[in-house]
Structure formats: C-alpha cells, structure tokens
Amino acid sequence: MKQRTWFERAFVLGTPVEALPELVERLRGTPARVEERVGALPADVLTRRLGEAWSIQEHVGHLGDLESLWFGRVEDLMTGKRELRAADLENTATWQADHNAAASADVLAALRDRRRDLVQRVESLPDAQHHVTARHPRLAQPMTVADLCFFVAEHDDHHLATITNTLHAIG
C-alpha cells in the first residue's frame, strides 16, 4: 500500500478539547511503540538507507528532533502568539544530526526523554488554556492544544508507518 508523504496530508482541525486526555496518551505511548518496533533490530538494519530516504534510526531521531518544535508551539499557544512557530521544512536538524552514528539506545532514550517533557507540559496546562488558538503557518488554520496534540500524534504514526514500510522493503 502506497503511503502519502507528510506534506500530501490534509488535516481537518477542530479536535474537541474533550479528546485531549486520549491524545496525550497517544503521545505518551509513542516512545514505547517505537521501541517495540525497532528496539531489537540490528544496527545494520536500523542505519540502512534505501536511496536518499532516511534510515529507520534517522526516522526515530527525527521524532526526537521535532520535540522542541512541538514544545515551542505549546508555549506559543500559552503566551498568546497569533501564529505558531514555523517548522524547518527541510528538516535540517535531522539531516545534520548524524543519527546513524549514534547508538540506537541513545536515539531512543532522547525521544523518550523529550516526549516526557512535552507530555508533562501539556498535562500541566490549566483547563482555561485548552481553548486558546493560534494559526498554524503551513496549514493556515487555527489550532488549539488538542489540535496540536492530534497533529503530533498523526506525525508520529506517519513515521511509524514509514518505518514499517522500510522494514518491508529491506525484507
């Protein structure tokens, strides 16, 4: 089954605030799901690139790299910014990080630690802040913290699906 690229995805926002607890659980569970999927794979499989595409370990590293963006966007919402900070659409941090040179355990631990920080920040938000919105720069739509959590969870799942597709392609 052919997978769309992340930028081909369309999002209908307006996620109910009441869905926030379940979305936070999705976010909390991502590191464990990633670990379950890749934790036992040998380094040569984790770091193998198919053409110019990222390796499995680079996908995991990318998830960790983006945690500062997600955390920053929560802060943008909480400080009343009109527009959320933009992502680096070239993913410079991931390309420059050389995740394949790192131990897989370190890449997984970085994702787990950074995601814990994001989850703790979202859980600490007062209920009154859940309805605050700011415009997403690429999607040109207003987002609440629930929308942001949905977006992040979908991004996580996109990369998990890509990891699975890469494993199938490697054989």
pLDDT score at 102? 97
How do residues 71-128 score in pLDDT, each as one tens digit?
A: 999 999 999 999 999 999 999 999 999 999 999 999 999 999 999 999 999 999 999 9
The verdict on residue 24 lying in a domain is yes
**Helix 145-170 and helix 56-65, axial crossing angle in degrees, nearest 10:** 170
CA distances from 97 to 48, 58, 90, 108 (A): 16, 9, 13, 14
Using a CB cutoff of 8 Å and minimum separation of 24, what contacts does 90-95 make?
A: 91/62, 91/65, 93/65, 94/54, 94/58, 94/61, 94/62, 94/65
The answer, yes or no, to whether residue 12 has pLDDT greater than 90, is: no
- Is 1 part of any domain? no
* Domain-embedded: residue 110: yes
Q: Total structural domains in the chain?
A: 1
Residue 93 domain-assigned (yes or no): yes
pTM of the model: 0.95
Round the average pLDDT of the chain to a whole number and report it: 95
Please report, for the domain that includes residue 129, its CATH number: 1.20.120.450
| Angle between helical axes of 56-65 and 67-78 (0-180°, round to 10) | 20
> Please, which residues have CB within 8 angstroms of residue 74's CB and are 6 or more apart in sequence?
118, 121, 122, 125, 145, 148
Specify if 88 maps to a domain: yes
Structural domain including 71 reads 6-170
**pLDDT of 151:** 97
Residue 48 lies in a domain: yes
Q: Considering only CA atoms, which of 67, 171, 155 is closest in space to residue 111?
A: 67
